[in-house]
Amino acid sequence: MNIDHPLPLLGHLSPRQFMRRHWQRAPLVVRQAIPGFGPLLSRSALVALAARDEVESRLITSGTAKGWTFARGPFSRSRIPPFKQSQWTLLVQGVDLHDDAVRELMEQFRFIPDARLDDVMISYATDGGGVGPHFDSYDVFLLQAHGTRRWRIGRQKDRTLVPGLPVRILADFQPEEEYLMEPGDLLYLPPGWAHDGVAMGNDCMTYSIGFRVPQKGDLAREMLLRMADGAAESLGERLYRDASQPAVEAPAAIPAALAAFAQQAVHAALQDEDSLACALGEYLTEPKANVWFDAPETLPETLGAVRLHRRSRMLYDASHVYLNGESYRAAGVDAELIHDLADARSLPAVQVRRASKGARELLHAWIEEGWLEPMDAA
């Protein structure tokens, strides 16, 4: 992608301009960001996804005698309200994991690092349906696919929530701007901007392209856990020695020298840049708990063009490549090849043929895992 080329998707801003002017800073409304855009999944296909155990789905209703209600899927068809009933919303998460066309939609947003890109959620709502005024901790692009949705947004200072509700709704929402979004229109919102989207009529579908926001504490915990096994190997078997330990009158007190020995061990482990890099890359590419891969029934005799499975997450740094929670060392021409695969999510046959024997064996192993797919047009 040419990041200096103006894109209709971004209101004829280039990706570089968008990231400088709007990303994590200011909302952006783009009329006809994708001209002629319509639902990539039918209503019935979306409802069928919501019935599957491995798909995360939620159902939110309002305006009934019970007020706001919230339920988690899977949802059989009998649990879905009638389509003529107003004020309900079905949210289906991670649709890109299950549909190639939705995965392809995410490609248009890859001017943002893959390490931050999360998934596509589809919201189906009947007239008056929505999830209430709220704010998110992550960036989001809201692409209207069918019907009309009214969005009200504002820089909300008061984050007080209505108590006792099953959903997080702002108690005193104060919108500053209002937009009616038609199919093909796009709204970008930075983290923390309060927003309320309400369906204006039935069969309203909105696609939300969301982003990962690692919390510092969670990130530290995950990396320390992943580094733990490697630390035992890298630091060796040096034993604590205390030949100068005097006799003590308070035997339960931890010796200062032992505490210092432990601190030095942890500090030494954290100085291992290779281990740190691997822990981060493995964490960022680890598939979600509801993601799995099926091994192919047959393997290609000759390796041609290949592409990453739509569920695969692949990243790289200067010395490694990471795929679905695993790390691999990569250098030289083979590293360039694997970087091309990660960036383009595919490799043409001519590049595969130029790969070393070791690189081709690795590609073959990834095909066996279901992480990589031969392309029919290879």
Domain-ending residue, one of 238, 253, 271? 271
368 and 319, same structural domain? yes
267 and 282, same structural domain? no
Domain-ending residue, one of 195, 211, 227? 211
In tens, the pLDDT along 173-204 reads 999 999 999 999 999 999 999 999 999 999 99
The answer to the question of residue 2 being in a domain is: no
Per-residue tens of pLDDT for the chain, all 378 residues: 899 999 999 999 999 999 999 999 999 999 999 999 999 999 999 999 999 999 999 999 997 777 899 999 999 999 999 999 999 999 999 999 999 999 999 999 999 999 999 999 999 999 999 999 999 999 999 999 999 999 999 999 999 999 999 999 999 999 999 999 999 999 999 999 999 999 999 999 999 999 999 999 999 999 999 888 778 777 877 899 999 999 999 999 999 999 999 999 888 888 889 999 999 999 999 999 999 999 898 888 889 999 999 999 999 999 999 999 999 999 899 999 999 999 999 999 999 999 999 999 999 999 999 999 998 643
In tens, the pLDDT along 150-167 reads 999 999 999 999 999 999
Cα–chain-centroid distance for residue 160? Answer: 27
The answer to the question of residue 142 being in a domain is: yes
DSSP per-residue codes, 85-141 = S-SEEEEE--GGGT-HHHHHHHHTTTTS-TTTEEEEEEEEE-TT----SB--SS-EE
Cα–chain-centroid distance for residue 267? Answer: 31
CATH assignment at residue 350: 3.40.366.30
Structural domain range at position 177: 8-211
291 and 267, same structural domain? no
Structure tokens at 251: 């035997």
The answer to the question of residue 1 being in a domain is: no
DSSP H helical ranges for 235-307: 256-270, 273-285
The answer to the question of residue 12 being in a domain is: yes
254 and 202, same structural domain? no
The answer to the question of residue 223 being in a domain is: yes
327 and 207, same structural domain? no
Count of structural domains within the chain = 3
CATH assignment at residue 23: 2.60.120.650
Structure tokens at 362: 């690795």
134 and 179, same structural domain? yes
195 and 235, same structural domain? no
3-state secondary structure of 300: coil
81 and 148, same structural domain? yes
161 and 30, same structural domain? yes
350 and 248, same structural domain? no
DSSP state of 317: -
Peptide bond preceding 255 in cis form (omega within 30 of 0): no
The answer to the question of residue 144 being in a domain is: yes
DSSP per-residue codes, 205-225 = EEEEEEE----HHHHHHHHHH
- Angle, vertex CA 69, rays to CA 200 and CA 209, nearest 5: 55
The answer to the question of residue 3 being in a domain is: no
191 and 224, same structural domain? no
99 and 21, same structural domain? yes
The answer to the question of residue 332 being in a domain is: yes
Separation CA 94–CA 116 (nearest Å)? 15
Domain-ending residue, one of 211, 229, 263? 211
